[in-house]
A and B are shown apart, each in its own frame.
Chain A
Amino acid sequence: QKEVEQDPGPLSVPEGAIVSLNCTYSNSAFQYFMWYRQYSRKGPELLMYTYSSGNKEDGRFTAQVDKSSKYISLFIRDSQPSDSATYLCAMSALIIQGAQKLVFGQGTRLTINP
């Protein structure tokens, strides 16, 4: 069983739609939960992170974590064509001397159609 599972999609929705992206995980040692956005031929950029169960909102983006179910979600409201990218969930566990190990999901390729 993979430590982190993410539906790879692809996902295509019309502009203005609400988008829901999801990941499940199996390792209870994960301490931080992140969503990265990756545009084509670019490095991942951190979109949101949280460390506790519940919701965290940032503009049109809401990250949700349910530690009891080992499930995280990212919601995008009023989606825009500029949101078209690959979204990667990532979980973080400390390794040695403070360095973090990030375990990524496979990524979901999202296209927002004008």
Chain B
Amino acid sequence: NAGVTQTPKFRILKIGQSMTLQCTQDMNHNYMYWYRQDPGMGLKLIYYSVGAGITDKGEVPNGYNVSRSTTEDFPLRLELAAPSQTSVYFCASSYSTGGGNTIYFGEGSWLTVV
């Protein structure tokens, strides 16, 4: 059981470039999330999705876009990369409206914008 899989693990981007972080889950979860984690900081919610075709902004959505065409996939698109987007990105998924025991995180994608 793979759980939540993110690719790539590491990436260096130049300012102004665009890229997509891929996220796939094999647990048939309805809810999916993208968080970013800056050094010495907790995680902040970028976007979330409650099901295929339905997405909404979190706390820090500027500079990002998402789509959810299938239950399994929730890619995060960075347009016109900026140094402020240097961070670690975590995708997560959950299957119920219950407590935190249902949220599973991927292993993270380390992104550097230079």
Q: Taking beta carbons and an 8 Å cutoff, which residues of A are in contact with B?
A: 4, 6, 8, 31-34, 41-46, 49, 51, 88, 90, 92, 94-107
A-contacting residues, B25-84, CB 8 Å = 30-31, 33, 35, 40-45, 48-51, 54, 56, 58
Bound state CA distance, A86 and B88, in angstroms? 15
For A41, what are the chain B residues with a Cβ–Cβ distance below 8 Å? 107-108, 110
- A100 & B103 in contact (Cβ 8 Å cutoff): yes
The 8 Å CB contact of A34, one of B92, B94, B100, B106, is B100
Q: Known interface pairs A44-B90, A49-B99. Does A99 touch B43 (Cβ–Cβ under 8 Å)?
A: no
Please indicate the chain A residues that have their CB under 8 angstroms from the CB of B54 in the complex. 97
**Structural contact, A95 and B48, CB atoms closer than 8 A:** yes
Contact A98/B43 with A43-B105, A43-B107, A44-B90 known, Cβ cut-off 8 Å: no
Contact with A along B6-38 (1 / 0, CB 8 A): 000000000000000000000000110101000
Bound form: Cα–Cα A103–B99 in Å:
13
Q: Closest approach, in angstroms, between the C-beta of B98 and any C-beta of chain A?
A: 8
**Residues on the B chain within 8 Å of A43, using CB:** 4, 90, 92, 105-108
Closest to A32 in B: B99
* 8 Å CB contact of B41 from A33, A94, A106: A106
Q: Is the Cβ of B31 less than 8 Å from the Cβ of A98?
A: yes
Q: Is the CB of A102 within 8 A of B45?
A: yes
Q: A41-B110, A43-B108, A44-B105 are in contact. List 18 more A-B contacts (CB 8 A).
A: A32-B100, A34-B99, A34-B100, A42-B107, A43-B4, A43-B90, A43-B107, A45-B105, A88-B42, A90-B100, A92-B99, A94-B97, A95-B48, A96-B56, A100-B94, A100-B97, A104-B44, A105-B42
B70 CB, min distance to chain A CBs, angstroms: 17
Smallest distance from the beta carbon of B84 to chain A beta carbons, Å?
18
